[in-house]
Amino acid sequence: MKITLLPGDGIGPEIVDAAIAVLNATAKKFGFDVTYDKQLLGGCAIDATGVPMPEATVVSAKAADAVLLGAVGGPKWDNVAPEVRPEKGLLGIRKALGLYCNLRPMVVSKFTAYLSPLKTEIAEGADLLIVRELTGGIYFGEHNEAHLNAQGIEEASDVELYTRPEIERIAKFAFEVARKRRGKVTSVDKSNVLGTSRMWRKIVSEMQSKNYPDIELTNLYVDNCAMQLVLNPRQFDVILTNNMFGDILSDEASTIAGSIGLLPSASLGDGTGLYEPIHGSAPDIAGQGIANPLATILSVAMMLRYSFDLIDPANAIEAAIICVMDQGYRTSDLYKEGLTKVSTSEMGCLIAQELLI
Ligand code: IPM
Ligand code: MN
């Protein structure tokens, strides 16, 4: 198993180290070999090479069986030119690997329901999967930065563009994955306003009636979906949506789970897959050893499942996390009185040890 590591910035290196401890323990238990190739992405790459995504990073990632990423960005790079921002590195590696499908599962477990800003009876038991289109839409359309127009007024614009094949391949993924879950897809758009959304809704509805009559499809406007998520998150199974709406709704959904430090993600295409926590680089707590590594460790479980079809090892990691939580260990974001507070690396070691029992 050849893994390219992209720890990135802020808390990235700490959480990736904790995840490596868990992956090494899993490899030992189940008898597979892992080799790592650490590369630069984001702000650290700008500092070292002047660009957020050096060529060596792309070469390594393309040659790897999977990529594990921490997080990129931070205030240090807030004022660099838009084309070399750390985020460009992340968007760039997604594009370079053709990772059009981003999976962001959100589960409210009994261990964390008390942390949800929603009432426990509303949040507990929620179990949804956001399927976000990742390489199209407004994040990749033409960005016309602020400039003076012919009338001397400052203006800027960004283009939202989707093609039929881009929508079909992501919708297919959502329908197929829903078949393995509870058979419900909620497709989210803004078709009362946007042309891209009207085409999105038309294509998704056509596909459902033609190829997926067994799937229950609901179409929701994104504003309504944002509201429904906090009113009743349990109504959702698979949420299918475009790049920008998926970005926004997945942050909202993560909050419902109690901590943004709990949500993993998988980004898939036709080749190498990339796995990362959905949270950012949290520069305010970087280097203190208090970041929650669970989202990254859960991303490793997704990696084993989706890139290697290693279902038992993936399940074993998730079970080890539950055991360690059950024993009362928590990083500070999940801490409450009566439990045992542990650091980022301690949490990684506890889960690794649990696997090797
Ligand atoms: C995410 C992040 C990225 C995105 C940023 C950092 C480019 O917010 O993974 O959700 O918008 O996709
Ligand atoms: Mn985001």
CB-CB contact of 258 with 114 (8 Å): yes
* Nearest ligand (C-alpha, residue 265): 1
Looking at the CA of residue 265, tell me the nearest atom of ligand 1: 9
Q: What are the distances in angstroms from CA 169 to CA 63, 89, 92, 194?
A: 24, 24, 20, 21
Q: Which residues are catalytic, by number? A: 139, 190, 223, 247, 251
CB-CB contact of 290 with 344 (8 Å): yes
Who contacts 194 (Cβ-Cβ below 8 Å, separation ≥6)? Answer: 160
Q: What is the chain's length?
A: 357
Distance 249 CA to ligand 2 centre (A): 9
- What local confidence, expressed as pLDDT, does residue 260 receive? 85
* Nearest ligand (C-alpha, residue 91): 1
- What local confidence, expressed as pLDDT, does residue 67 receive? 98
Who contacts 267 (Cβ-Cβ below 8 Å, separation ≥6)? Answer: 94, 97, 99, 101, 102, 103, 134, 273, 274, 275, 276
Whether 90 lines ligand 1, by a CB cut-off of 6 Å, is: yes
Secondary structure in 3-state letters for the chain: CEEEEEEECCCHHHHHHHHHHHHHHHHHHHCCCCEEEECCCCHHHHHHHCCCCCHHHHHHHHHCCEEEEEECCCHHHCCCCHHHCHHHHHHHHHHHCCCCEEEEEEECCCCCHHHCCCCHHHHCCCEEEEEEECCCHHHCCCEEEEEECCCCCEEEEECCCCCHHHHHHHHHHHHHHHHCCCCEEEEEECCCCCHHHHHHHHHHHHHHHHHCCCCEEEEEEHHHHHHHHHHCHHHCCEEEECHHHHHHHHHHHHHHCCCHHHCEEEEECCCCEEEEECCCCCHHHCCCCCCCCHHHHHHHHHHHHHHHCCHHHHHHHHHHHHHHHHCCEECHHHCCCCCEECCHHHHHHHHHHHHHC
Q: Which residues surround ligand 2, an ion (CB under 5 A)?
A: 247
pTM for the structure as a whole: 0.94
Mutate to test the pocket of ligand 1, among 41, 69, 87, 244 (most ligand atoms within 8 A of CB): 87
* Nearest-CA residue for atom 10 of ligand 1: 247
- What local confidence, expressed as pLDDT, does residue 109 receive? 86
Two tokens, residue 110 = 């009994």
- What local confidence, expressed as pLDDT, does residue 126 receive? 97
Instruction: Give burial (CB, 10 Å; 0-12/13-18/19+) of 263.
Output: buried
Whether 247 lines ligand 1, by a CB cut-off of 6 Å, is: yes
Residues of the chain with pLDDT under 50: none
CB-CB contact of 222 with 194 (8 Å): no
